[in-house]
A and B are shown apart, each in its own frame.
Chain A
Amino acid sequence: MSATGNEKMMHAEPGTKKPCQICKWQIADPTNPLRGQCTVNRNTLGGVWKRWVTDVNGMTCAKHEVGKLSFREHV
């Protein structure tokens, strides 16, 4: 699958039970730990096209999966 913009999928949902914070595709923002980065968009050559998560506790999407990926699977 090639990477595509996922703005339609990721959305604000206050009080969500599936926040990006606990999703395996999310990794912390480089500067502000209350924000994050979504890495679900990956292409066949190993590219990871990130999307900014402005509120890791109040956003979610349909691809939410609880967990944590190894550093090898991130950037």
Chain B
Amino acid sequence: MSTVAASIKYNGKVVDFPLANPAENEIADEVLHENLARPTTERTKRLKARCRWKHAAAGEFVDAEVRAGIERMRYITEAHKASAGQPEVIRRALGLANILNKSTLVLQQDEFIIGYHAEDPEMFPLYPELAYMAVQDYLMSDYSPQPKDEAAEINEYWKKYSMQAKGERYFTQEELLQMYQVSTMEAPGFATGYNSISPPYETVLQDGLLKRIESAKEKIEHAKKEMQKIPWNATTGLDWIARIDVWKAMIIADEAVINWARRHARLAKIVAENFETNPARKEELLEIAEISQRVPAEPCKGLKDAFQSKWYTYLICHAIDRYASGYAQKEDEMLEPYYNISVKEKSFQPMTHTDVVEMVEMERLKISEHGAGKSRAYREIFPGSNDLFILTIGGTKPGYVDACSDMTDAILEGARNIRTTEPSIVFRWHPVGREKTKRLVFECIRDGLGYPSIKHDVIGTEQLKYYSQFSKNSNGATDEEAHYWGLVLCMSPGVCGRRKTHKTRSEGGGSIFPAKMMEIVLADGFDWSYSGMQLGPHTGDPTTFKTFELLWEAFRTQYAYAISKVIRAKDIMRYFESKFLQMPFVSSIDDGCMELGVDAMELSEQPNGWHNPITTVVAANSLVAVKKLIYDEKKYTMAQLVTALHANWHGYEDMRQDFLNAPKWGNDDDYADAIIKDFYEDIIGGEMAKITNYSGGPVLPVGQAVGLYMEIGSRTGPTPDGRFGGDAGDDGGISPYMGTDKKGPTAVLKSVSKVQKNQKANLLNQRLSVPIMRSVHGFNIWKSYMDAWEQLNIDHVQFNCVSTAEMKAAQKEPEKHQDLIVRVSGFSARFVDIPTYGQNTIIARNEQAFGADDLQYLNTQL
């Protein structure tokens, strides 16, 4: 039987919490989430049943059938050898063209949106031109590309040309070791190949690639005429050489993409005319063929066109030309015009709203099946999921007018119905957002999907305006463009649209780890617990720190050292990306690159610099405990603390309890919050903001966690917050440490709202009571919580709504809980595909109930 929340006395009356759906009274807590999926059609039910999930955990693929393909690495290598001597940007375009012209096509039963990025739907491509260590790791695994000898030969060929070889030259061996071990700093992109991008989909959907090719040709003609002018002027004339090469590369890339899509059209037609026996499917395959013949070459004419054109563009930008995580887009606004054509006007590809929901479900299953050839580090840190596929909806248009539409609702309905871990959804919350849509957001959260995560619409919009002022070519986002944003990955807003979008992770992304820094601050920069090497500068013997300020400054020194190093690594990567890793296709679909003849890796119009501090709260709580017990109350000495930590608190349990029970973040505690606010604003944000990156703007912190709070926890020794060595870190950028927020949900909001300065974003993870959220009062309580959250000017919040009983049942019998989804941090995951270590961290999070005091503060109307 389902648990029902206990009645409470509120505003002078007794409030009961009967379930909103009485039928759920008969469903046991332990199996609730196995009873919530309701695919819209039999087709999406079949597609979900046969989906080839590519979840990873602890660096391994959960499904033993998943493996790396060889085609992409084979064809890009073939092209690289054949194009020696040509301009590098042209070589990149020829590489893409060779892959697209020769790769095996995949067309699967029941699909309507077609296209895949490897030769088999169980496979994913590899990228030897990025990091040879990452490919070598695959070669040593059970899922190596075959033939293995050929793959090894290809990897050997790329060693000297790879981004890794280029980037490493500008760091000492010690610096590389410090970064590569991923304990105080995330390894640089040139060593992992990890990347992110926000493709300017809108140009493809609105213009079509034939028009883009025409534009590039006109640019070349214009450039040639400029070069022929008399008298010759080298100071301007020579600039045209590089630009002509960029435009030529765009044409090669776009023509290849059109040909590749039309190969799909031919394949669908051949199957329809020669092999398909089901008349309905035959007709559908002919329609698929017609669509792929039309798009992305031509502008989209209806919603089916838009879904297909967007998918082809996604595959090129995120998987075929180069690997990039993410699914960044403002999907509802992008598709709304086509929704109106097909659903409201019914003037092309007519369909019903329910048909659109089915399309959404099919797109979600395409993403769920999409494999990412990412390095081991990134197979570790999104446990139970595939990759960071995250789209954005909701928010406002210029003038803060509601941007929600029926397309927004279709996206939410599809997500709620089909229940997949990916893609995650971000909802931009603004008071003007319509309630109908907010109810759907609530239903997804209440059903335990962990998404949408919620971002503060005004904070995100104003932030893009702020960054715009640093634009190197004085052409950053306009006030209007600043409203059209989506998250690049989990947490950071970036401009969407035809121009100025985020093109590479060397602009924003990557992590540093304050918990580990806290550990080495107490050991003069030395890492005694994991690597046995000096990880940072010598900041002194902590037992000689006579004041708390000396400890504070020692931390600042370690932090400043690490953050400058990782941003330097990203900018060095960007330098080489612009010279050897150009993206001609991406350039061709960006209006700025097209206008200026500059490759997307080089052109920066809208700065968007950020880096992710992860495990900040462990460090912050540690500082609070040290200040209170050593410097204020003088109950212990620093020497005693260091000794106890080196013993992992063994023999010092009473002392550990004191440190564990010191004030903790998230309880609206003035003592703790004052220190922690300063820590965020002065050190975490303040030191980062001193940096200027490639794009000319500041770098700001985006506090979050992904699965790195587990990885870093396991590489971090005991800390003064009372944590044992190896225990997980905190699970969000600004979330209280698991189980330490004991004053209820509104106390958490009050603490978090105190941090405002020098931040770009901060992830807040909260776990909500299932019986309350599923009760008749669930929406009203949640809505009043969200309104308070918005008024407190908090950047982000995301929710788990899953019971401990169900998670523990899933640990015992994983095979019976395939539909149990949880929010880890920044992404949702299949619970049973997460290692036990990570599962336990989610169970340990406080389940927030709402008492009368909370409801009073929220002014909830029940």
Contact = CB atoms under 8 A, between A and B. Distances in A.
Q: Do A and B come from one complex?
A: yes
Interface string B703-718: 0000000110111010
A41 B724 CA distance: 12
Given A3-B726, A41-B726, A46-B837, A27 B140 contact: no
Nearest to B716: A49
Contacts of A45: 724, 727, 840
Interface residues of A, number: 32
B187 A30 contact: yes
B192 interface: yes
Given A31-B376, A33-B140, A74-B58, A52 B181 contact: yes
Nearest to B528: A5
A50 B59 CA distance: 15
A30 B714 contact: no
Contact of B57 (A3, A7, A71): A71
A57 B7 CA distance: 62
Contact of A31 (B377, B531, B725, B838): B377
A33 B138 CA distance: 9
B223 to A, nearest CB: 43
Contacts of A75: 58, 380, 710-711, 713-714, 835, 837-838
A50 B16 CA distance: 48
Contact of A71 (B60, B375, B650, B726): B60
Interface in A6-25: 7
Contacts of B375: 30-31
Given A2-B724, A30-B380, A72 B835 contact: yes
Given A29-B181, A31-B181, A47-B726, A52 B648 contact: no
Contacts of A48: 714, 726, 837
B840 A46 contact: yes
A47 B727 contact: yes
B530 interface: yes
A30 B376 contact: yes
A20 to B, nearest CB: 14
A36 to B, nearest CB: 11
Interface in B152-194: 180-182, 187, 191-192
B187 A7 contact: no
Contacts of B840: 45-46
Given A46-B836, A46-B840, A74-B835, A27 B59 contact: yes
A24 B758 CA distance: 45
Contact of B133 (A31, A42, A47): A31
B726 A33 contact: no
Interface string B637-659: 00000000010101000000000
Interface in B357-393: 375-377, 380
B136 interface: yes
A72 B726 CA distance: 16
Nearest to A38: B530
Nearest to A33: B137
Interface string B66-84: 0000000000000000000
B49 to A, nearest CB: 23
Interface string B106-138: 000000000000000000000000000100110
A29 B58 CA distance: 11
B62 A71 contact: yes
Given A31-B133, A33-B136, A3 B59 contact: no
A28 B836 contact: no
A40 B305 CA distance: 54
B711 A30 contact: yes
Contacts of A73: 835-836
A47 B729 CA distance: 11
Interface in A31-71: 31-33, 35, 37, 39, 41-43, 45-52, 54, 71
A32 B380 CA distance: 14
B648 A4 contact: yes
A69 to B, nearest CB: 9
A23 to B, nearest CB: 15
Contact of A49 (B180, B650, B714): B714
B769 interface: no
Contacts of B12: none
Contacts of B182: 30-31
Contacts of B137: 28, 33
B133 A32 contact: yes
A25 to B, nearest CB: 13
Contacts of B191: 31
B181 A43 contact: no
A2 B836 CA distance: 17
B84 to A, nearest CB: 29
B134 to A, nearest CB: 8
Contact of B650 (A4, A41, A51): A4
Contacts of B860: none
A35 B532 CA distance: 14
A41 B652 CA distance: 19
A50 B650 contact: no
Given A2-B650, A50-B726, A75-B714, A32 B180 contact: yes
A43 B650 CA distance: 12
B105 to A, nearest CB: 32
A22 B778 CA distance: 52
A75 B57 CA distance: 8
A42 B136 CA distance: 29
Contacts of B711: 30, 75
Contacts of B727: 43, 45, 47
B377 A51 contact: no
B529 interface: yes
B127 to A, nearest CB: 15
Given A75-B58, A75-B838, A30 B726 contact: no
A48 B713 CA distance: 9
Given A30-B182, A31-B133, A72 B836 contact: yes
B378 to A, nearest CB: 8
A33 B840 CA distance: 28
Nearest to B814: A72
A42 B713 CA distance: 13
Nearest to A10: B532
A33 B136 CA distance: 7
Contacts of A54: 531
B714 A31 contact: no
Contact of B192 (A5, A27, A28, A31): A31
Contacts of B531: 52, 54
A1 to B, nearest CB: 11
Interface in B512-535: 528-532
Interface of A: 2-5, 7, 27-33, 35, 37, 39, 41-43, 45-52, 54, 71-75
The 10 closest A-B CB pairs, nearest first, are: A49-B726, A74-B58, A30-B377, A47-B726, A33-B137, A71-B58, A31-B180, A52-B531, A71-B57, A49-B725
7 contacts: A5-B646, A28-B59, A29-B180, A30-B711, A35-B181, A43-B726, A49-B726
Given A30-B187, A74-B837, 10 more contacts: A5-B529, A28-B137, A28-B140, A29-B180, A30-B182, A31-B192, A32-B180, A45-B724, A49-B714, A75-B58
